[in-house]
Amino acid sequence: MAVNQKLLDILVCPKCKGDLILTENQDGLICNSCRLKYLIKDDIPIMLIDEAVPLDKEESA
């Protein structure tokens, strides 16, 4: 089961309140402004700034 589209539509980056983009393999949400990836585990987005993964320069969506 994938993350609910209605939930994805209302989620924003907890750090900058910017838009998030679902990764191609649907394992995370990317904030291009903050250069962070919020992982999705068991179909639940982990929206904690401390748990976000910094993006490498070539990983931007």
1-17 pLDDT, tens per residue?
577 889 889 999 999 99
Q: Give per-residue pLDDT as tens, 16-32.
A: 999 999 999 999 999 99
Q: Which residues are CB-neighbours of 54 under 8 A, at least 6 positions away? A: 35, 36, 37
Structural domains of the chain, ranges and CATH numbers in brackets? 5-59 (2.20.25.10)
Q: What is the pLDDT of residue 1?
A: 56
Given a cut of 70, whether residue 47 has pLDDT beyond it is yes
Query: Look-up: residue for tokens 């649907």?
Result: 26
> How far is residue 3 from each of residues 23, 56, 57, measured CA to CA in Å?
12, 25, 26
